[in-house]
Amino acid sequence: MTAIAPATPRVIYQRPERLTDVSTRYCPGCGHGIVHRLVAEVLEDLGVDGRTIAVAPVGCSVFAYEYLAYDWCEAPHGRAPAVATGIRRVRPDAFVLTYQGDGDLAAIGTGEIVHAAARGELITAIFVNNGIYGMTGGQMAPTTLVGQRTTSSPTGRDVRTAGYPVPMTEMLAVLPGVAFAARGSVADPSSIGKTKALIRKACEAQIRGAGFALVEVLSNCPVGWGMTAQESMRHLKEVVVQTYPLGVLVDRMEPARPKSAKED
């Protein structure tokens, strides 16, 4: 009888060099880890990981600097775009990335993101929207869906007292300084692949000097939503996208340049 040779182990995933091999503090099933992986893969593919300076938020991803091995600067709550502006201006050779959640970017940091986008700062913003304040106990955020139950809206978000969810990416997309704005999701493998392509485009916008770029990534918070990881992914795919549709909102990738007298 012929002996069957043992199968050669197959490499099924090559960890990007800058994605550290440590256990995260994220809850089981949380989408932040997926977004970290996408960022690490894209920056490695584009060859900018060695000159990246990233700005960390306050929130569940406050320890992002432990999971992605770039040079990091920690910003006060909501101020990542302002800190990134300073870094980009004194280090024009650097690739500058911000990573923020919705509590950070869409609440206390609304002013900073709007004005960085309006100025067309050459930074790439990753905005992870899970519609809740995860780290502080699951309170209502500006992005919380109408009717969604949170610890501070136990009967569901009521528009009569709490208003409507804030579509940050649509708001920012109308600003002329924004070269690229899009919304992706981590709900399933297909969405994750598309989100990676959006992150790549947002990074290319900075490399080409086209302007400010932002990718909103719809993510889950199984703990804050009171769901299992599987339920939360289904909810993301079937419910959350009705308020936050996926896709590219604006793509102005050509770098702005002064017109010559002949073109006027």
Which residues would be at the binding site for ligand SF4 (CB under 6 A)? 26-27, 30, 32, 60, 130, 134-135, 221-224
Distance CA(236)–CA(244), nearest Å, equals 10
Instruction: Tell me the C-alpha to C-alpha distance, in Å, between residue 124 and each of 85, 149, 204, 207.
Output: 11, 32, 9, 10
Q: How far is CA 76 from CA 89, 109, 156, in A?
A: 19, 9, 30
Give 184 or 224: the residue with its C-beta nearer to ligand SF4: 224
Rounded to a whole number of angstroms, the minimum distance from the CB of residue 175 to ligand SF4 is 28
Helices (H), 17-128: 32-46, 64-67, 80-90, 102-103, 110-118
Q: Minimum CB separation from ligand SF4 for residue 37, in Å?
A: 15
List strands edge to edge, sheet with 178-185: 71-74, 52-56, 95-101, 124-129, 212-218, 178-185, 247-251
Q: How near is the Cβ of 196 to ligand SF4 at its closest, in Å?
A: 20
Give 184 or 211: the residue with its C-beta nearer to ligand SF4: 184
Question: In terms of CB distance, is 36 or 252 closer to ligand SF4?
Answer: 36
Q: Which residue's CB is nearer to ligand SF4, number 52 or number 129?
A: 129
Q: How far is the CB of 208 from ligand SF4 (least distance, A)?
A: 32
* Closer residue to ligand SF4 in complex, CB, 27/108: 27
| Residue 214 CB, nearest approach to ligand SF4 (Å) | 19
For ligand SF4, the closer of residues 235 and 252 by Cβ is 235
217 forms beta bridges with 128, 184
State the minimum distance, in angstroms, from the CB of residue 136 to ligand SF4.
9
Length of the chain: 264
Other CB atoms within 10 Å distance of the CB of residue 232: 24
Give the Cβ contact number of residue 14 at 10 Å.
Answer: 8
